[in-house]
Amino acid sequence: MNQVKLEGPCKGPIELQIQAILKAPSDPNAIKVGEWLTVNKLDFFTMSGGGTLDGQGKAAWECKQSKKCTKLPNNLSFNSLTNSIIKDITTLDSKSFHVNVNQCKNLTFINFNVSAPANSPNTDGIHVARASSVNITESAFSTGDDCISIGDETEQLYITKVTCGPGHGISVGSLGGNADEKPVVGVFVKNCTFTSTDNGVRIKTWPASHPGVVSDIHFEDIIVQNVSNPIVIDQVYCPSGKCNKDLPSQVKISKVSIQNIKGTSRTQNAVTLLCSKGSPCEGVEVGDIDISYSGKEGPAKSSCENIKPNFKGKQIPAVCSAAADAPAPAAAS
């Protein structure tokens, strides 16, 4: 199947059933724009059927890593959908993001599966931005970038009963890279499991950034298994090393709860809370953390900057204590 766009408005509910394995062209240059299957401007839309969208991304990833490709297509793009459901669908080996969600309201993903190798570049599972009341539940993500990434102007995003791994975890951001970004308010990640991921739950903002707001974020009832950086707030996020880290992030992070997160870390850095020196984090509550590390360096550690959390329950390792001085998180984008 080559590029397809389905666009409303339409007069009534529509269900699109995909019951086959649909394959995108393997040639990275066959689709000239950044979308393969696009669905726009529909109310009461359902995609179902148990089928698979195979992006055949291997050649595109090699092309991207050699910097010979720039604009590669997402497998799925949903723009301006309302009151809609995506269920019983698999997206496989996308050339770029598996799913891009933009300007949607009341959209649910259930039994939605994402699969790509750990070394596939920029293959975020679902990227959500400028959207409200999005639910992602009972779904599995194995990919080479963030399982779920959260952009600006996202409000009331609920992520529950999701498994992630391999991948880079579930990330709010990166934020502050562009002027006039709208706030991210109301993100709830609960009852999720991370296995052998680079990160677990994460908020990331650029240093020397534009102003922004991240508020009402809740990471609760999480299991981490062999995760490199299980809990991360990183306000000096700079994967390329070309940022001015001397200038602080201007993104304000507040009202964050990190509760009941248990399991094992692949590195000593179990908890990393590096907030902005120009706009320190406020209203962060940390409760019932129990993350172990069994490497030869010693037990798990935490590191904190420009943050004074409120504590509830036990903290293993000790969080933001005088003895908790760990290095910055292991490099991961």
Other C-beta atoms within 10 Å of 186: how many?
A: 17
- Give the whole-angstrom CA distance, residue 236 versus residue 278: 11
- Residue 284's H or E segment, with its range, is strand 282-292
Instruction: Please tell me which residue in 98, 168, 210, 218 is annotated as part of the active site.
Output: 168
DSSP designation for 79: E
CB atoms within 10 A of CB 256: 24
Which residues face 89 on adjacent strands? 112
Question: Residue 168 catalytic?
Answer: yes
Do the bridges between strand 52-54 and strand 99-102 make them parallel or antiparallel, or are there none, so unpaired?
A: unpaired
Q: How many CB atoms lie within 10 A of CB 265?
A: 26
**What distance in Å separates the CA atoms of residue 298 and residue 268, rounded to the nearest whole number?**
8
DSSP state of 59: H
Any idea which residues carry the catalytic annotation? 168
